[in-house]
Copies of this chain bind each other. A is one copy, B any other.
Amino acid sequence: MPVYKAPVRDVCFNINEVLKLEQYAALPGFDSATPDMVEAIVGEGGRFMSEVVAPLNLSGDQQGCTRLPDGTVTTPNGFKEAFAQYQEAGWGTLSTPTNFGGQGLPHAFGFVLEEFICSANQAFAMYPGLTNGAVSAIQAKASPELQAKYLPNMVSNKWLGTMNLTEPHCGTDLGLIRTRAVPIADGSYAITGTKIFISAGDHDLTENIIHLVLAKTPDAPESSKGISLFIVPKIMVNDDGSLGERNAVSCGSIEHKMGIHGNATCVMNYDGATGWLVGEENKGLAAMFIMMNAARLGVGIQGLGQAEVAYQNAVIYAQERRQGRALTGPSEPQEKADPLFVHPDIRRMLMDAKAFTEGMRALCMWGALQVDLSHKALTEEDRAAADEMISLLTPVIKGYGTDKGFDVAVNMQQVFGGHGYIVEHGMEQFVRDARIAMIYEGANGVQAMDLVGRKLAMNGGRAIQRFFALVDDQCAQAKGKHELADLAGRLEKANGELKAATMWLMQNGMANPNNAGAGAHHYMHILGIVAIGLMWLRQGQAALDGLASGSGDKAFYEAKLVTGRYYGERFTPDAGALRRKIEGGSEAMMALPVEAFATA
């Protein structure tokens, strides 16, 4: 059975030595982020995920969820008890706002726990996974009455939230939705329609479930300008906060999926269910996007989480499994064969995984800081800059992070050879579970278009220009230090490819938007490569500082320097190839008629 151990040391390194959260102690919530506190919280959260949640991953996959004849859903054995502990300990509320009972810690803590829970058990993670996003949307847009009624129990995870967008005929193109919301005299609406792919649509973990549902009012304009957002509780909530009757919403069936079998992904039927408008009519998409942006970052973290746990198990297997001899002569001549670990191609896959996961972790944590700064920085200018940076990074963290996270899971399965294909080892589950992250919350092609079509041009390109400068500055600082010079030189080159690709897209996407579309996915990958390269330079600098301080963990810091160098050697060269692909444009890509794709 696969195992999981939370990467506490690496997280603490990021928080305390790379981000140095202590320096923001003047901001609300940051004063708690002392190194001791960080270690205590992260260590305890990691222990919980490793010991309580991870052991339910393989069994949850095999058992799956069950829909009972009355339409209610039961989760795999052990999920309910584990969730009760999770909720009791407040692991989901570390970074939620204090005004409704959250702990108000920096988002880095929330992101870390999200990584841990995704590594431990992604199907389990997707029960509470959308609740914090739902809280943000309700807090930003709903009336004080609705907030008072729903938020305290949602923040505490006594109730969980869901996100109901997709219908059988539409996903990305939400303008097409058919679910109807008819106003009732008491100010509520009667919601009727079918939603599909609803993660945690029904389950037995909490006494109530709060659905956020997109629907159209009777006279709403067609297109996405006519969408409204509603709160639809599974069980009606009385004015005194007690639970009332069942609402007219139920799970019609559980989808049969490639993976995350332990999560009940439901078809939800709304049969005149009672709902309450969040914000204004026809302004639902903007409210939902508050939830979606949080969810997208969360899904990017899933890519990291699956890569990390697959990596950990591959490392163990590569040490235990003996096969063949080192190319440079037997490493353990007293044994009949050397560990897999001696083979360069095994090491290539493990180092790729290590370089990605540690770099991606640093990127997510830096992103978490931007989320906080966008709300809490002392000046409007700093808040705006942070908001723009996280807006730019969100599609990259989601799209690049999950593409690469999946690749890593596939490679870690490969380390196991034939045994990787066998269910009992658990490696194939990581691949199946990681696969969904490339699809949901906006397929990665949609992320790429969000990046190229919307985020690049925001405020005259201010965010991407600031990003270029950050990279250039970091490279300039690092080039004089011989431990970092190689990576800095390679990253500077990759940043040059990124700038050139940006310029090409700006110029040629204007003339023909298909040129932007044709290069978007590759562009997202270049930006991912450079962003993680930037994180490796920062980690490298922190490692040099650590070594200079003479304190403790010399081997850890030295490994950071080697892994950063490896990242430069093996990840940055793709930037040039991707740029050349982008410059191929859309002509050949779009030239063929439909019939040319038919097989005869």
Contact = CB atoms under 8 A, between A and B. Distances in A.
A382 interface: no
Contact of A594 (B171, B319, B323): B319
Given A421-B436, A559-B596, A345 B521 contact: yes
A517 B588 CA distance: 37
Nearest to A312: B599
List the number of copies, as a whole number.
2
A105 interface: no
Interface in A541-586: 555-556, 559, 562-563, 565-566, 569-570, 573-574, 576-578, 580-581, 584-586
B445 A171 contact: no
A470 B444 CA distance: 39
Given A414-B443, A589-B566, A5 B599 contact: yes
A254 B344 CA distance: 33
A308 B598 CA distance: 11
Nearest to A598: B315
A418 B197 contact: yes
A315 to B, nearest CB: 5
Nearest to A567: B588
Interface residues on A, range: 35 or more
A422 B256 contact: yes
Contacts of A130: none
Given A315-B597, A328-B513, A421 B435 contact: yes
Interface stretch (A207-215, A226-234, A279-287, A348-356): A348-356
A170 interface: yes
A10 B327 contact: no
A65 interface: no
A26 interface: no
Interface stretch (A235-243, A385-393, A423-431): A423-431
Contacts of A573: 576-578, 580-581
Contact of A513 (B327, B439, B592): B327
A439 B422 contact: no
Given A315-B598, A445-B343, A574-B577, A422 B348 contact: no
Contact of A173 (B196, B315, B337, B585): B337
Interface string A443-458: 1110011000000000
A507 interface: no
A414 B428 contact: no
Contacts of A418: 166, 171, 196-197, 439-440, 443
Contact of A7 (B255, B424, B436, B600): B600
Given A573-B577, A599-B5, A324 B422 contact: no
A83 interface: no
A432 interface: yes
A516 interface: yes
A585 B351 CA distance: 13
Interface string A267-283: 00000000000000000
A429 to B, nearest CB: 9
Contact of A566 (B166, B337, B588): B588
Nearest to A258: B428
Contact of A584 (B445, B569, B574): B569
A590 interface: yes
A467 to B, nearest CB: 22
A257 interface: yes
A444 B414 contact: yes
Contacts of A569: 581, 584-585, 588
Contacts of A581: 569-570, 573
A520 B600 contact: no
Interface in A319-367: 319, 322-324, 327-328, 336-337, 341, 343-351, 354
Nearest to A509: B327
A63 interface: no
A327 B517 contact: yes
A595 interface: yes
Nearest to A575: B577
Most buried by B among A341, A343, A423: A343
A591 interface: yes
Contacts of A328: 512-514
A258 B433 CA distance: 12
19 contacts: A8-B600, A9-B599, A9-B600, A196-B418, A256-B423, A327-B514, A341-B594, A344-B514, A344-B586, A344-B590, A345-B445, A348-B521, A350-B597, A410-B435, A428-B435, A555-B595, A559-B596, A569-B581, A573-B577
Q: Give the 8 A-B CB pairs with smallest separation, nearest first.
A: A344-B517, A569-B584, A258-B428, A345-B445, A327-B513, A577-B577, A573-B580, A559-B596
